[in-house]
Amino acid sequence: MSVGRLVKATIPLLLIAFGLLWPVVFTGGGSAGTPAEDPVVISNFTLDAAVDGAGDMTAVETITTEFYSTDRHGIFRYWDVANQNDSHVRQKPDVTSILLDGRPVPYQMLWEGGKRFRVAKIGDPDRTLSDGTHVFELRYRIPGVLDPGGTGADRRFAQTVGAPGPSPSPSVFFWNVVAPSWNNRIDRADITVTLPGDVGAVQCSVGFGVGRVCDELRARGNTVVASASSLPPRTPVTLRAGVDVATPARLTLPWPYTWDRVLGQSVTAVLWVLGLTMAFGALAVLWFRSVLERSPGFPLQYAPPPGLGPVQLEYIRTEAVPKNGLTATLFYLAERDLITLHQVSDKEWKIRSIARAGQWSGVDPVSLAVASRLKLLNAGSEFAAKKSVKSGEKLNKAKTDMAEAVRTWAIDSGLMVARKKELWLRAANAVAFVLMVCGFFRWGFPTTMWALPFAAFFLFSAASWRDGVGTRRTPAGRELWSRAGGFHRMLATDSAETRFDFSARKDLYIAYVPFAVAAGVAAAWAKKYETYTNTAAPQPDWYTTSTTSSSWGVAGGSGGRTSTVSRRHCPRRSAPTPPPSRPPRRAAVAAVASAAVVVAVVAEEEADHGDFPARRRARAGGADPDRICGRLQQDPVRRRPRRRGAVGDRRRTDPACVADPRPRADGADLRHP
C-alpha cells in the first residue's frame, strides 16, 4: 500500500478516535467564573449519617431554608461522585426520598461536570415557593465511604481530638460532611456520624486547606459529633475519623472518573459494547461480501473483445465509468480514422471529423454519443477545444452522455441487470453513520463508546458506495468480463506470461493505447513496448500541429503514472556529436504519442473548472492521460535525470530549458520533420 493510500485510510480512523475520546480532552469541568450566590439562606443544616460494616453510608439531611421573594421553585443538591483519594472509585448517591415541609416533592436527578456531579433538582416546576421558612428532608445511600487507614494521613487539619491508639486505624472515614457545592450561606451545620467500629483520632477543618476549627468536635464510642456556623457559600466542612474495622471491599473501575463520559461507570456495559462492535463489524463484512460478484477468472487475452470501445470494455470490467473515458474515446475515434487532432496554438486544439458516409454506422453507441454531443458526425465538422467556459461545458455534457450511454448499453445488451436490494446496504451504512455521530455527541446515548458498534458497521460497509453495487453481470456479461480482464492483464502486467510480440504486431501498440488510457495503465503499456523493443514508442499519424516551437518527448514515470507529454518553448542549439548509442533503459514511459492527450486534458480540466489559468497549468505541470490532469510540461527545477554515462554527463552541462534537437538521442524525443 502506498503512503498516500495509507494516509487516506487512516483519516477515518483518526476522526472516529477523536469522536470517541473528545470528552477526555475537553473535560468540561471548569466554568467561566464563580457562580453567583444563591439568595436562599440555609438557617440550619443537619446531617445524621450511619456507616455499616460494608462501608455503605445511609444519610438523612434536614435542610431548613429561608426564602425571601426569590420566586424559586426549590433548591439544588450536588454530590461529587469522584473519590478525591482514589480516582478509580465512584460514590454515586442513591436517593430514596425527598420531602418538602413533610410532604413528597417532585425532583429530577441530573448529571453535571462531565458526569462527575450528581444533581438533585428539587421542586415543583409548576409552583413557586412562598416567602418564609421551608424544610427539605433528603434520604440517600452512598456505597464505599470507608478508605484505607493511611488515606489523608499527610493532610493538616485545624483541629484534632481523641488518641490515635498504639497503631493507626485500619480504616478511615474521610468525608466532606458539608459539601463545597452548596452555593448558599449556611448559618449553622450540625453533624452526627455513626461508624461501624470504635473511633480513634478525629480531625476537622472548616474551609479549604487547613481552614479553621469546628465550633464543636467530639467522639464517643463509635459516634462523632461536629458543628460549625457562619459558613459562606461553597465552604466545605471536612471530617476525618479513624475506624477500628478492616477496610471493606468496594467497587472500583479500571479507568479514572475523567473517562466516565467515554466508558461510563460499568465494566459490564463496556464488555457489551465491545461484543456489539465485533458483531456489527462482522455483519457489515458478511453483508458486503454478499453484494460482491465472484471473479470468473481472467485467462490471458492478446486482443480486446471485438466490437467494443475502450469505455465499454472498462465498464464491463469494473462496473464503473472510467474517469479517463473521454480521452480514451477521442483516441479510439482518431485511431479508427474518424477524427483528427490538430494543435492550432498553445491555447487551442481542433478535433475534426474525417469520417466518410456510412463510417459511423459501425461505431459503438458510447463513442457515438460522444461524437454526437461534440457535433462530429458530419464530415468536415470541427470542435475547438479552447480555454473557455463554453468549451468546457460541451465536454462536460459529452462526459455525461458517455456515462449514460454505457450504462444503457450494458442493460439493453443483457450484460447487466439491476439488483436494487443490494442498495439496502448503502441505506444501512448511512443510518450507521448518523447513529455514530449521535453517539459521539451523546445525543440519545449515555457515553461516546456506544458509537463504536455503528462506527464498525460504517467502516466495514463503506465500500458499498463504490460502483457496481446495485447491478449484477449476467452469464453473458461474466463471460465478457473474463475476456476484458484477460486483456487488461496483457496491458498492465509486466511478466514473461503476458509478453506481447511487438516485433510481429508493432502497429497494435497505438491501436491499444485507447484501451490502456481508459484502464489507467497507459504508462505500463508504453513502458512494456520500450522494454521489449528497446525503442521509443511510435507516434500516431492522426495528430498534426501548426506550431514550430514545441517538441514532444518522454518524461520519467513509474507504477501507475502515465507518460507525460513534455513541451518546451526554448531556443534550439546546435547538436553536439552524439555519444555511442545504446538501447535506452530508462524507467520512463513513452508519451501516449499524440497531442490528443493535451486536447482531452485541457477540455476535461475546463469542464470541471471553466477557464483554466495559465499559471495553474504551469504549477500543475500539465497533462497525465491516466488522470486527465497530469503534467503538461516538466519544470527544469524538478527535472532530475539519472546519471547515464556520457548522456548523463552531457545533460548535466546543458543549461536549463534548452531543447535537445537530436532525435532519439536518449529515447525520449518524438519529433516531427
Do residues 178 and 188 touch, judged by C-beta distance below 8 A? no
What mean pLDDT is predicted for residues 151-169? 82
Minimal CA–CA distance to 78: which of 115, 30, 46, 130?
Answer: 115
C-alpha distances in angstroms, 543 versus 337, 487, 539, 595? Answer: 11, 26, 8, 6
The percentage of residues in the chain with a pLDDT greater than 70, rounded to a whole number, is 77
Assess if residue 9 is contained within a domain. Answer: no
Does 257 lie in the same domain as 307? no
DSSP string, 458-480: HHHHGGGGSTTTTEEE-HHHHHH
Taken as a whole, the chain contains a residue count of 673
Here the cell at position 430 is 448511512
Assess if residue 281 is contained within a domain. Answer: no
Does residue 174 have a pLDDT over 50? yes
Minimal CA–CA distance to 349: which of 589, 661, 657, 565?
Answer: 565
C-alpha distances in angstroms, 105 versus 74, 92, 560? Answer: 9, 21, 74
Read off the pLDDT band of 625 (50, 70, 90). very low
Assess if residue 20 is contained within a domain. Answer: no
Q: Per mean pLDDT, which range of 37-46, 299-308, 661-670 is the poorest?
A: 661-670
Q: Per mean pLDDT, which range of 28-37, 540-549, 621-630 is the poorest?
A: 621-630
CA distance 95 to 180: 19
The last residue of one of the domains, among 235, 261, 287, is 261
User: What integer pLDDT is reported at residue 584 of this predicted model?
Assistant: 38
SS3 for 43?
strand
Read off the pLDDT band of 617 (50, 70, 90). very low
Do residues 279 and 116 touch, judged by C-beta distance below 8 A? no
Does residue 97 have a pLDDT over 60? yes
Does residue 539 have a pLDDT over 90? no
User: What integer pLDDT is reported at residue 33 of this predicted model?
Assistant: 54
pLDDT digits (tens, 9 = 90+) for 404-462: 999 999 999 999 999 999 999 999 999 999 999 999 999 999 999 999 999 999 999 99
Read off the pLDDT band of 503 (50, 70, 90). low
Does residue 202 have a pLDDT over 60? yes
The better pLDDT of the pair 573, 210 is held by 210
The last residue of one of the domains, among 261, 288, 309, is 261
> Could you tell me what percentage of the chain is helix, strand and coil, using 3-state DSSP and rounding each to the nearest 5?
35, 25, 40
DSSP conformational letter for 641: P
User: What integer pLDDT is reported at residue 195 of this predicted model?
Assistant: 96
Does residue 475 have a pLDDT over 80? yes
DSSP string, 128-182: PPPSEEEEEEEEEEES--EEETTTTTT---SEEES---SS--SEEEEEEEE-TT-
Does 244 lie in the same domain as 323? no
Does 323 lie in the same domain as 218? no
User: What integer pLDDT is reported at residue 614 of this predicted model?
Assistant: 36
CA distance 268 to 583: 71
Does 310 lie in the same domain as 256? no
Does 342 lie in the same domain as 206? no
User: What integer pLDDT is reported at residue 435 of this predicted model?
Assistant: 98
What mean pLDDT is predicted for residues 146-159? 91
Do residues 214 and 204 touch, judged by C-beta distance below 8 A? yes
On the CB side of 649, CA atoms within 13 Å amount to 5
Does 84 lie in the same domain as 222? yes
User: What integer pLDDT is reported at residue 84 of this predicted model?
Assistant: 84
Does 255 lie in the same domain as 300? no
Assess if residue 223 is contained within a domain. Answer: yes
Identity of residue 571: P
Does residue 196 have a pLDDT over 50? yes
User: What integer pLDDT is reported at residue 493 of this predicted model?
Assistant: 84
Residue 115: CATH number of its domain: 2.60.40.1730
Domains of the chain: total: 2
Does 627 lie in the same domain as 532? yes
User: β-strand 216-220 against 199-206: which pairing, if any?
Assistant: unpaired
Does residue 657 have a pLDDT over 60? no
User: What integer pLDDT is reported at residue 63 of this predicted model?
Assistant: 97
Residue pointed to by grid coordinates 476549627: 213
User: What integer pLDDT is reported at residue 542 of this predicted model?
Assistant: 79
619: exposed, middle or buried (C-beta count within 10 Å: 0-12, 13-18, 19+)? exposed
Does residue 20 have a pLDDT over 90? yes
CA distance 34 to 234: 10
Q: What is the 3-state secondary structure (H, E, C) of 594-631?
A: CCHHHHHHHHHHHHHHCCCCHHHHHHHCEECCCCCCCE
Identity of residue 434: V
Instruction: Write phi, then psi, for 203 (nearest 5 degrees).
Output: -125, 150
What mean pLDDT is predicted for residues 301-328? 94
Q: Per mean pLDDT, which range of 24-38, 291-305, 487-501, 646-660 is the poorest?
A: 646-660
Does 218 lie in the same domain as 332? no
pLDDT digits (tens, 9 = 90+) for 373-397: 999 999 999 998 888 888 889 999 9
As beta bridge partners, residue 632 has 622
Assess if residue 416 is contained within a domain. Answer: no
Read off the pLDDT band of 27 (50, 70, 90). confident
CA distance 136 to 549: 95
Q: What angle (nearest 5°) sits at the alpha carbon of residue 339, between those of residues 335 and 341?
A: 90
DSSP conformational letter for 35: P
What mean pLDDT is predicted for residues 503-521? 85
What mean pLDDT is predicted for residues 253-282? 95
Q: Per mean pLDDT, which range of 116-120, 203-207, 382-386, 516-520 is the poorest?
A: 382-386
Assess if residue 118 is contained within a domain. Answer: yes
Instruction: Write phi, then psi, for 337 (nearest 5 degrees).
Output: 60, 35
Here the cell at position 36 is 453567583
C-alpha distances in angstroms, 219 versus 198, 612, 652? Answer: 9, 88, 95
pLDDT digits (tens, 9 = 90+) for 322-368: 999 998 999 999 999 999 988 888 778 789 999 887 889 889 999 99
CA dihedral 24, 26, 27, 31 (to 10 degrees): 180
Assess if residue 358 is contained within a domain. Answer: yes
Does residue 576 have a pLDDT over 80? no
The percentage of residues in the chain with a pLDDT greater than 90, rounded to a whole number, is 58
Does 255 lie in the same domain as 303? no
Read off the pLDDT band of 662 (50, 70, 90). very low
Does residue 530 have a pLDDT over 50? yes
The better pLDDT of the pair 567, 81 is held by 81
Minimal CA–CA distance to 56: which of 162, 140, 170?
Answer: 140
The last residue of one of the domains, among 204, 236, 261, is 261
What mean pLDDT is predicted for residues 8-19? 93
561: exposed, middle or buried (C-beta count within 10 Å: 0-12, 13-18, 19+)? buried
Terminal alpha carbon distance of the chain: 44
CA dihedral 84, 89, 95, 96 (to 10 degrees): -130
Does residue 91 have a pLDDT over 50? yes
What mean pLDDT is predicted for residues 522-550? 78
Does residue 553 have a pLDDT over 60? no
Residues 210-231 as b/e (b if ≥16 CB within 10 A, e otherwise) read ebeebeebebeebebebbbeeb
Does residue 32 have a pLDDT over 50? no
Average pLDDT, rounded, for the chain: 80
User: What integer pLDDT is reported at residue 547 of this predicted model?
Assistant: 61
Here the cell at position 459 is 467502516
Does residue 35 have a pLDDT over 90? no
C-alpha distances in angstroms, 486 versus 221, 300, 301, 489, 496? Answer: 93, 4, 5, 5, 15
Residue pointed to by grid coordinates 472510467: 322
Does residue 582 have a pLDDT over 50? no
Does residue 249 have a pLDDT over 80? yes
Do residues 259 and 211 touch, judged by C-beta distance below 8 A? no
Q: Give residue 195's domain range.
A: 41-261
Does 220 lie in the same domain as 357? no
Count other Cβ atoms within 10 Å, centred on residue 411: 13
Does residue 622 have a pLDDT over 90? no
The better pLDDT of the pair 187, 669 is held by 187
Assess if residue 24 is contained within a domain. Answer: no
Does 329 lie in the same domain as 251? no
